[in-house]
Amino acid sequence: MYLSSILPLLSLTTLAFSSPTIQNNNPDSREIPGTSPSPSNGQWIPTGTPPPTHRNLGHAIVENNCHFPIYIWSVASTVLPKRTISPNDQYSELFRENPDTGGIAIKISTNPNGLYTSAPQMIFAYNLSSSKERGQRENKVWYDLSDVFGDPFVGYTVNLAPAEPAICWKDGVPPAGSQVRVVDSSTNLVLSLCGDKI
C-alpha cells in the first residue's frame, strides 16, 4: 500500500479521538462564525475552510429519521457550534479540507452535551484529498463510520451510502473490521439514522 493511501486512513482514525479547540459553544447563537445558511433548506452549513474552487464537491449529509432529536458537532482543528437536528430533518456539509487534522469528523450524539460528557458518539469522518494518477489529478474523499464511548443508535438501522462494500448496521452497532471507503469527491454521502427499529 502506498503512503498516499495510508495517510487518509491514519487521519480518519485520529479524528475520532482528537480534542480540538472550541470555536463557539453557544447552541442558541444565530450568527455562527464559520457557517452559512443553505438557500434550499435554511440549515447552517460549515464553511470554516473555503472549498477549493477548482473542484466539484459533494456533501456529507446526515438524515435524522429518529423520533428524537440528535446533536451534531463538525470537528476539525476547531469545533463548530452544536447543531440540533429534529426528527425528519437533515444536516448537510459541503466537503472541506483541514490541513491541521487531515480531515473532518462529524460527531453525532443523542445527548445534548454528548461531545463533552463522553456520552456514546457516532463519528462520520472524511478526508478530502487529491493525487496525481496516470497523469491526471484525481479528487477523492476517504470516509469512515465508527462509534466511540458506546453505541448511540443501538436497536436502530444505520446506513451510509453510497458505499462498496455496503455500510449498513442493522442493529446500530458497528461490525468488526475497517469501515473505511473511498469515493469521488463530487459524490454526496448520506448517513441515514434510525431506519426500522429492530
| The model's pTM | 0.74
DSSP for the chain, written as a single string:
--HHHHHHHHHHHHHTT--PEES---TT-SS-TTEEE-TTT--EEE-SSPPPTTS---EEEEEE-SSS-EEEEEESSEEPPPEEE-TTEEEEEE----TTTSSEEEEEESSTTHHHHT--EEEEEEEEEEEEETTEEEEEEEEEEEEESS-TTTTEEEEEES-SS-EEETTS-PPSS---EEEETTPPEEEEEEEEE-
Q: Residue written as cell 496516470?
A: 134
Q: Alpha-carbon Rg of the chain, whole angstroms?
A: 16
Torsion sign, CA atoms 80, 85, 114, 180: negative
**CATH number attached to the domain at 3-197:** 2.60.110
pLDDT tens by residue, the chain, 198 residues: 433 444 454 445 544 544 443 333 334 333 333 343 333 444 444 444 454 555 689 999 999 999 999 999 999 989 999 999 999 999 999 999 887 777 999 999 999 999 999 999 999 999 998 766 655 567 899 999 999 999 999 999 999 999 989 999 999 999 987 789 999 999 999 999 997 655
Q: How far apart are CA 148 and CA 129, in angstroms?
A: 25
Contact (CB, 8 A) for 180 and 143: yes
